[in-house]
Structure 1
């Protein structure tokens, strides 16, 4: 195994994730300029759902 040998076959996961996140952020900022209120509501709902799931998991483990 030479250094950088696997890079030719399969891109490393960090690189793939960075590219995906970069594209996602660019698309988000592009759409946020047009309709940021909808995305704010979606983000708040996502946070609430995440909080409820986490709290429910903690409560479920207690009993």
Structure 2
């Protein structure tokens, strides 16, 4: 089943969030990174996932 997902960085600080979109590997192959992008403060992005696609969200460490 395909699902539309909204991801928002609702934080108003200067911390950034990285969103990664992955496809599961087939027949023991490693998972494939499809896209990676940063979400800045109060930014919204719409994404689509399904049974073989997933999202990873993590904070970007401050330099």
* TM interval, short-chain normalised: under 0.3
Indicate the structure with greater strand content: 2
Q: When the two structures are superposed, what TM-score results if normalisation uses the length of structure 1? A: 0.16
Q: When the two structures are superposed, what TM-score results if normalisation uses the length of structure 2? A: 0.16
Indicate the structure with greater helix content: 1
Query: More relative contact order in 1 or in 2 (CA 8 Å, sep 6+)?
Result: 2
